[in-house]
Amino acid sequence: MQANENKSLTIEVDGVVYERYPIKTHVVTDKDDIRDVAQNYAQEHMQQGDLLFISEKCVACTQKRAIPMDEIKPRPLAKLLCKFVYKSPYGIGLSIPQTMEMALRECGTVKILFAAFCSAFGKLVGKRGIFYDIAGPKAKSIDGPCDCTIPPYNNYVVLGPENPDEVAKAIKQRIGFDVLIVDINDLDGTILGTSDDSIDRLLYARVLKDNPLGQSRQQTPMGIIRRI
């Protein structure tokens, strides 16, 4: 196991050094069981005290939460709202009609409209990020297609995973190690699910803040965290 291009295996947080080993897999789809994927690719490399972290997109794809773009018919409201979304260099987010449409379906129209209103006010006072703070992790986890996405998902919208805590616990039961379900990109990161309620989500968000899995075609949707 080695670091992805332009990434580091190690990071220091609060005086403690952690290694993060990315693990390459096949292209995971809804034909896969995420427990099998974790067992087949990660278990043999893990040592006592290790944690396995898995991208939310990988989990969501096994849950049939990847939707082809041509199956999503955006309503007029989605086409309007997406025009006001900040277009990050690290991903599409909700800046296209299809991803905004899925946000409306996932979170509800009222919640998205309220988040958009508060976001507009926040921009007037120079504050960004309010939209996703209010819309919540379901909206923030929606990924749209981009050129760097591995086929066939370069033509899909992928929603956030369902029941990430339960998924993490099920994987732990299979492999015998603690598990994190993470939403990490080159901008920021969140721990969506943990196999144990005592795991410090904020700590591990910092451990993974530089996105060691990469954000392109690395095909490494999971990795191992090892405290040195």
Residue 89 has pLDDT above 70, yes or no: no
Q: What is the pLDDT of residue 216?
A: 63
| pLDDT tens digits, 142-171 | 988 877 778 888 899 999 999 999 999 999
Residue 90 has pLDDT above 80, yes or no: no
Q: Name residues whose C-beta falls within 8 Å of residue 96's C-beta, 6 or more positions apart in sequence.
A: 82, 144
| pLDDT tens digits, 4-61 | 777 789 999 999 999 999 999 999 999 999 999 999 999 999 999 999 999 999 999 9
**What is the Rg, in whole angstroms, of the alpha carbon atoms belonging to the chain?**
18
Integer angstrom CA distances of residue 176 from 20, 52, 56, 168:
19, 10, 20, 11
Amino acid at 140: K
pLDDT-wise least confident of 1-10, 53-62, 178-187, 189-198: 1-10
Q: How far apart are CA 10 and CA 82, in angstroms?
A: 37
Average pLDDT, whole number, for the chain? 90
Residue 223 has pLDDT above 90, yes or no: yes
Q: How far apart are CA 28 and CA 32, in angstroms?
A: 6
Domains and CATH numbers, the chain: 10-65+162-227 (3.30.1330.100), 67-158 (no CATH)
Q: How far apart are CA 58 and CA 223, in angstroms?
A: 12
Tokens representing 41 are 């690719």
Amino acid at 106: E
